[in-house]
Amino acid sequence: MEKIPPEKCWAITAKTLSRLSVLRGSKIMPSTLGKVNGVISPVWGWEKWQEILNKVYTERSRRLHLSVNEKFNVPVEDAIGAAKLEMIVLRLFMGPEYRDELVETTPEKTVIKITKCPWDERFKEFDVDPTLRGACEVHQEAWHEEAFKAINPKISGKLVKSMSKGDPYCEVVIEFKEE
């Protein structure tokens, strides 16, 4: 393990984790985790499963943002600071495959354009049914809507475009509102 460069370890780990996340909707595992005939559907139902995952993503997002903000001490006093924090979190969470850019930056509104996402790459690799890809969008919304509440309640984040919906890229709008 010591002989593997850290960048390679990170890439392998990130790709493995994104593969495991995507497998739940792939052709490989529909009988286990599928929308209609799977183990989860008969036990909880698809809607309940989505509700559970949203709670998981919301809590994961809060904890990760708080932890990263504590470690990197990113000032989140406006939309620009919040976008910088979000970009750090997303890069750490998704690994080296992830690509983004800032397309608008003002203290009141910042827009992050995500051009490459490991989850989208895995959806393509595993030929995930497009009707199941929307589940990713639901979790992304939970992630972005809740991300900043714990850091600064004047900041909001919303997913407005999503590759899992068929958009060519994902777009997150982060806004600061003085109350």
Q: Is residue 63 part of a domain?
A: yes
Single-letter residue type at 124: K
Q: How far is CA 157 from CA 32, 42, 48, 149, in A?
A: 34, 34, 24, 9
Q: Is residue 161 part of a domain?
A: yes
β-pairing, 109-116 vs 155-161, is unpaired
Q: Of the candidates 74, 72, 73, which has an alpha carbon nearest to the alpha carbon of residue 84?
A: 74
Backbone angles phi, psi at 89, to 5 degrees: -60, -50
Model pLDDT, residue 154: 93
Q: Of the candidates 131, 132, 87, 135, which has an alpha carbon nearest to the alpha carbon of residue 112?
A: 87
Q: Is residue 123 part of a domain?
A: yes
Could you tell me which residues are beta bridge partners of residue 99? 116
Which positions ≥6 away from 126 have C-beta within 8 Å?
Answer: 19, 22, 23, 26, 27, 28
What average pLDDT score do residues 109-120 get? 92
Model pLDDT, residue 138: 62
Of residues 133 and 175, more confidence is placed in 175
Query: Considering the chain, what is the average pLDDT of its residues?
Result: 77
What average pLDDT score do residues 29-43 get? 46
pTM of the model: 0.75
Q: How far apart are CA 65 and CA 149, in angstroms?
A: 10
Q: Is residue 158 part of a domain?
A: yes
Q: By residue range, what is the domain housing residue 166? A: 6-176
What average pLDDT score do residues 122-131 get? 73
Q: Is residue 51 part of a domain?
A: yes
**CATH at 154:** 3.30.1380
Angle at 158 between CA 157 and CA 163, to 5 degrees: 130
Q: How many domains does the chain divide into?
A: 1
